[in-house]
């Protein structure tokens, strides 16, 4: 796994590089001392994993993350625990509080390995995007075809509970199973019928008729609590009234 470190503190780079040296499958290809250094590097190079500090001058780590259209796996490394919730809303893989031990570091790397294997598996069985022709995937608002796990799945729209974005892929939660597809949540948002599905969070699209309850900044679908993003509240209120 090719990695980069993004941190304005030289010692932080040294710690991570020393930890990575104990794991032969990790290759630190770049040490970036600002978000701008990382931005330039990622524009021209493929990276599997990023160790990202939050409190950096000029451009904060999470603000930098928001600029990435298709981010690599992200492990946040910071001394500030108050950004944890915001980080996970941006689909980070793990949140390491400085100073962190090698054992805690290894736990995060195990997550990264697992995610990387899943992504590679999906890529090996996927041609381009899940929707080869998004405009033609909805068949009379009854079903869609989705490629995942090296197979094409015909999914009945009535069986969809919600969709969850996890980095480079999307989990489609159905009534009786979950299908994982290599794609972006935005593609599903543009394809699914607007009168049946609504994006309520950066990482979630829900089936409107599957909503059980709404309370504060969360709603419940099939007994699962799902967050409502502040920028999506208006759309949800409008959909309910409509």
- Contact assessment for residue 62 and residue 87, using Cβ atoms and an 8 Å cutoff: yes
What gap in Å lies between CA 91 and CA 75, rounded to an integer?
10
Neighbours of 140 (CB within 10 A): 5
Considering only CA atoms, which of 114, 93, 94, 113 is closest in space to residue 104? 94
Q: Which of 167, 184, 177 is nearest to 88 (CA)?
A: 167
User: pLDDT of 157-173, one tens digit each?
Assistant: 999 999 999 877 899 99
What is the value of pTM for the model shown? 0.56
Residue 166 has a pLDDT of 83
In the chain, % of residues over pLDDT 70: 91
């Amino acid at each position: 796994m090719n990695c980069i470190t993004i941190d304005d503190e030289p010692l932080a780079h040294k710690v991570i590089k020393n930890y990575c040296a104990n794991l032969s499958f990790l290759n630190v290809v770049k040490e970036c001392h600002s978000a701008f250094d990382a931005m330039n590097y990622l524009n021209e190079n493929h990276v599997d994993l990023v160790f990202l500090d939050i409190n950096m001058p000029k451009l904060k780590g999470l603000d930098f993350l928001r600029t990435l259209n298709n981010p690599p796996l992200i492990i946040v490394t910071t001394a500030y625990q108050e950004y944890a919730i915001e980080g996970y809303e941006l689909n980070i893989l793990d949140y390491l509080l400085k100073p962190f031990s090698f054992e805690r570091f290894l736990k995060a790397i195990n997550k990264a390995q697992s995610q990387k294997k899943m992504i590679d598996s999906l890529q090996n069985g996927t041609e381009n995007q899940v929707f080869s022709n998004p405009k033609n995937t909805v068949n009379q608002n009854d079903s869609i075809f989705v490629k995942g796990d090296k197979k094409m799945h015909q999914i009945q729209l009535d069986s969809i509970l919600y969709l969850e974005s996890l980095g480079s892929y999307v989990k489609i939660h159905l009534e009786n199973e979950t299908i994982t597809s290599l794609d972006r949540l935005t593609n599903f948002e543009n394809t699914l019928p607007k009168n049946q599905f609504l994006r309520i969070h950066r990482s979630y699209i829900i089936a409107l008729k599957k909503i059980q309850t709404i309370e504060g900044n969360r709603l419940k679908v099939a007994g699962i609590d799902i967050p409502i993003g502040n920028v999506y509240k208006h759309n949800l209120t409008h959909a309910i009234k409509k």
